[in-house]
Amino acid sequence: MKILITGGAGFLGRRLARKLLELGSLALDGGAPQAITRIDLLDVVHADGLTDPRVRTLVGDIADPAVLQQAIGADTRAIFHLAAIVSGQAEADFDLGMRINLDASRALLETCRKLGHKPRVIFTSSVAVYGGALPETVRDDTALNPQSSYGTQKAIAELLLADYTRRGFVDGRALRLPTISVRPGRPNAAASSFASGIIREPLNGEAAVCPVGAGTRLWLLSPRAAIQALIAGCELPAEAVADRVPINLPGVSVTVAEMAQALREVAGDEAADRITWQADERVERIVGSWPGRWDTARAARLGLKGDRDFAEIIRAYMADDLPR
């Protein structure tokens, strides 16, 4: 089985590839596991650090149909479509967000449609599709009302994926990811970048600024659980999404103050005291429009799991990613 990961040079893409290589197979239709014979990693930059002979890296612009035609063949059985312009950048550069988050997603679906082989497409959507006046607990059938261009573009890509799936052009699954925390590496242009930074930087002995109020509630998922959910989501049968293609993944609901307190408990005062607080109105507006909790009954029924609590998320980061 051949698999494509878009955004394959990103941290989630590379981690997903490593996990798939480790598993060695996927069971797509309730049938026997099929061996993964190749993983293509497509991104604008070269995906480093993967030397397995099954891996091929492709460098190109995902919004360019010629690049997609090169990346997707009639033998591409599953596509994890992770490539995206993150929320803060899509808000700052409207055209870039539209080009990658919307046009490239559509071009990917069109490439599959033309090939006619109906591959499994796993699309990563986001908390950011929600917004406005929200119920305390968001459900899979709560109306989308995005308050950012990123959220709008993700919501549109979900709708396209659902229609392409309904028409039989692809076999799609949209997974709405909570905010991923703790991301390794450096801060990025996501409005939610701080949700990793306020844990990661203190654990690395560095200061971190929290740009939102201590009472801001977030809905979080660890990279480890996100990868598990992406793979489990890929293996879901078509019946699981016959009624509704997007699935809200489980998360942990915490305030920023509770995150700081968990850091204090897991790593001590010295680490926790490295967080300082300085409000950034731009970040607060975007992040504040996202739900802090959603009903995960459907995800649970489908066997999709999240983390137990935020302390577990910190410990997973320390085990998986903390530089030694």
The answer to whether 170 and 276 are in contact (CB under 8 A) is no
130 as an active site residue: the answer is no
Our CB check for a copy of itself shows the closer of 105 and 181 to be 105
Could you tell me the smallest distance in angstroms from the CB atom of residue 148 to a copy of itself?
Answer: 8
**According to CB under 8 A, which one of 21, 115, 162, 214 is a site residue for a copy of itself?**
162
Our CB check for a copy of itself shows the closer of 47 and 175 to be 175
| 126 counts as binding a copy of itself under rule CB under 8 A | no
Report how far residue 268's alpha carbon sits from residue 270's, in angstroms, rounded to the nearest whole number. Answer: 6
Report how far residue 290's alpha carbon sits from residue 256's, in angstroms, rounded to the nearest whole number. Answer: 14
Q: In terms of Cα–Cα distance, which of 203, 194, 308 is closest to 251? A: 308
Angle between helices 149-166 and 105-115 (to 10 degrees): 10
| 94 counts as binding a copy of itself under rule CB under 8 A | yes
| 282 counts as binding a copy of itself under rule CB under 8 A | no
| 287 counts as binding a copy of itself under rule CB under 8 A | no
Per-position b or e across 203-237, b if 16+ CB within 10 A of its CB:
beeeebebbbeeebbbbbbbbbbbbbbbbbbbbbe
| 159 counts as binding a copy of itself under rule CB under 8 A | yes
Could you tell me the smallest distance in angstroms from the CB atom of residue 294 to a copy of itself?
Answer: 12
Report how far residue 240's alpha carbon sits from residue 48's, in angstroms, rounded to the nearest whole number. Answer: 35
**According to CB under 8 A, which one of 61, 93, 140, 295 is a site residue for a copy of itself?**
140
- Residue for token pair 């801060």: 187
**According to CB under 8 A, which one of 51, 133, 269, 324 is a site residue for a copy of itself?**
133
Marked catalytic residue, from 130, 150, 164, 317? 150
| 141 counts as binding a copy of itself under rule CB under 8 A | yes
**According to CB under 8 A, which one of 105, 111, 149, 222 is a site residue for a copy of itself?**
149
| 155 counts as binding a copy of itself under rule CB under 8 A | yes
Report how far residue 179's alpha carbon sits from residue 83's, in angstroms, rounded to the nearest whole number. Answer: 16
In angstroms, how far is the first alpha carbon of the chain from the final one? Answer: 36
Residues from 221 through 250 that contact a copy of itself (CB under 8 A): 243-244
Burial class (CB in 10 A: 0-12, 13-18, 19+), 194: buried
| 167 counts as binding a copy of itself under rule CB under 8 A | yes
User: Mind telling me the catalytic residues?
Assistant: 150
Return residues touching a copy of itself (CB under 8 A): 94, 132-133, 140-147, 149, 152, 155-156, 159-160, 162-163, 166-167, 243-244
